[in-house]
Structure 1
Amino acid sequence: MEKIRVVVIEDHELSLLGIRTSIKQDETILIVGDAVNGINGLHLLNKLQPDIAIIDIGLPGKDGIQITREIKQSNPEMKVIILTLCDRKETVLRAFAVGADSYCMKDIGFEKLIEVIHLTYRGNTWIDPKIAHIILEQAKRSSRSISNLDGIDEDMLDFYVLTQRELEILQLVVDGNRNAEIASKLYITVGTVKSHIHNILMKVGAGDRTQAAVHALRYGLSD
C-alpha cells in the first residue's frame, strides 16, 4: 500500500516532536520532511511535493496563510492541514479563503490527528469543532447581509445564502460530527455531505475562488 507522504512545518520543537511521534504510530503515513520556518517550509513543499502539508499559522519568515496561498497556487492538488493554537475568526476564515483543506487546534489528540490526515487525504474537509462555530456565524451573517440588499438577483442569492440543508450540516459539524456521522443522521451519502461542505465554504467566502472573493467584496460580505 502506498503511504501518505507528509511534510510538517512547525517552529516549536516540542510540537514538532509530538506530531512526528503520533504519525509514526501509523504505518500508512510517512513524514518525508519538516521545517521550522516558513521560507524553508515552502521550499521543502515545492521540492518534495507531498500529499499533505501540516502547517502552523505563526511561523517566522512566512506565516501559514502565506504558505498555503502560494502552495495552492502552484499545486492545487496538495492537501493542507492547518494545525495551530490560533482560533481568531479572521485567521480561520483567511486560512480557508486561501485554500486550506482542514483546520485543527493543537490540543487535538494523536489518534484524531491521524484520522484527520486520512480524511483530508481522501478529499474531506475537517473543521475542528472548537472553531466550526466561526464558520457557522459567518455563514449566518453573510446570508443576512446579502438577503437585506436591494436589487440583487436570485442567482446571487443562491450563490451566497445557505440553504436549510447546508445550515443543518454546518450545525452538525459544529457539534463535532464527522462526515460519515452526518451522512448517517441525514440519510444521505458521504459524497453529498462533502459537496455541501464545499458549497458552505464557498458561500462564506472560504473557498479558494477569486471570483467569489470579488463578489463578496463588491456586496459587502467581507470584513
Structure 2
Amino acid sequence: MDDERVRVVLVDDEHLVRMALRLIVDGEPDLVVVGEAADGDAAVGVVGEQRPDVVLMDVRMPGRDGLSATEEILGLPEPPRVLVLTTFDSDEMVLGALRVGALGFLLKDTPPPRILAAIRTVATGEPALSPAATARLITAATGPHSSDARRASRDTARGLLATLTERERETAGAIAEGLSNTDVARKLDITVATVKAHTSSMLAKLGVENRVQIALLVRDAEE
C-alpha cells in the first residue's frame, strides 16, 4: 500500500451507501478506503484498528449516533479528521457536528468530485463545509437565541479567548473570517509558519480540536 495515500474509513448504516462511497474513493490514486462501519460503536473500533487519516461519518444510525462516536474518536491519541456526510442538514445537526470537533459537513447529495475534494481538504487540517452548512452556521451565529443561553456562551467564549496572547486573538479573529493560513499571514503581516504556530498554541489553550471550533468561539464571544 502506498503510504502517501490518504487513508479513509467509511461509517454509514446503509451498505449501498458505503459501497458507492468506496467505489468513488478507491477510484482515486491518492485515496484509499481502509475500513467500514455500520454504527458508532463499530466506527470507534475500526478507527482504533486502522488509524485512518479521514473518517466519513454518518450522523443518524441505529444504536450509537455519529456525533457521539465522533467525540470519542477525536479523543483518541493522534485522531483522524472527521468529515460528516449526512442526509440531514438542520441547524442543530450542523452545529452539533462542528462543536464536537468534525472538520467538515456535507450532504449526501453532494456531487462526488466535491466529496473527494472535501476529503483531501480535511486531510490537510482545513475545514470543508457545504454551502448549506455554511449558511446555517452563519444564521445560528447571528440569529436570535435565548438571552440566558447566549450570555452563558458569550461569557464562556470570552473567558477562553482571554487566555490567548494579543497576537493569538488577532489570528483567531482572522480564522473566524474564513481566511486560509496564507491569507491570515498576509492580513497580519506575519509568516505562514507563525500562523501555524499561533493556531497550534490556541488549540492547546482553548481545548479544541480544529480551526472551525476556534471560529465558533470567536463568534460566541462576539454575540
Unaligned 5+ runs, structure 1: 173-178, 206-215
Q: How does 1:108-127 map to 2 (within 5 A)?
A: 108-127=110-129
Aligned to 1:17: 19
Aligned match for 1:59, one of 55, 58, 61: 61
Q: Over aligned residue pairs, what C-alpha RMSD do you find?
A: 3.9
SS at match of 1:104: strand
Deviation at 1:157, TM superposition (A): 8.5
Cα distance in 1 between the residues matched to 2:6 and 2:81: 11
TM-score (norm 1): 0.70
Q: How does 1:1-223 map to 2 (within 5 A)?
A: 2-75=4-77, 77-141=79-143, 156=158, 159=161, 169=177, 183=183, 197=212, 199-204=214-219
The equivalent residue for 1:175 is none
Give the direction of change, closer, same or farther, for the CA distance of 1:75–1:129 in structure 2 (3 Å limit): farther
Distance 1:157 1:80, change over 3 A: same
User: Structure 1's 140 and 52: CA in aligned 2 closer, same or farther, altered over 3 A?
Assistant: same
| Contact 2:103 2:212 (C-alpha < 8 Å) held by counterparts | no
**Cα offset, 1:101, TM superposition:** 0.9
Bigger drift between 69-78 and 109-118 goes to 69-78
For structure 2, the residue ranges without an aligned partner over 5 or more in a row are: 163-169, 200-210
Cα offset, 1:203, TM superposition: 3.0
Matched to 1:6, the amino acid is V
* Deviation at residue 39 of structure 1 after TM alignment: 1.9
Query: Normalization by structure 2: what TM-score?
Result: 0.70
Query: How many residues are matched?
Result: 193
In structure 2, the CA distance between the partners of 1:141 and 1:114, relative to structure 1 (3 Å rule), is: same
How much has 1:142 moved relative to structure 2?
8.1
Distance 1:203 1:142, change over 3 A: farther
Q: Residues 67 and 100 of structure 2 are in contact (CA less than 8 Å); yes or no, is this contact kept in structure 1?
A: yes
Instruction: Render the CA deviation track for 1:87-120: whole Å, top value 9, x for unaligned.
Output: 1111111111111111111111111111111110
Partners of 1:8 and 1:53 within 8 A in 2: yes
Counterparts of 1:164 and 1:118, CA distance in 2: 25
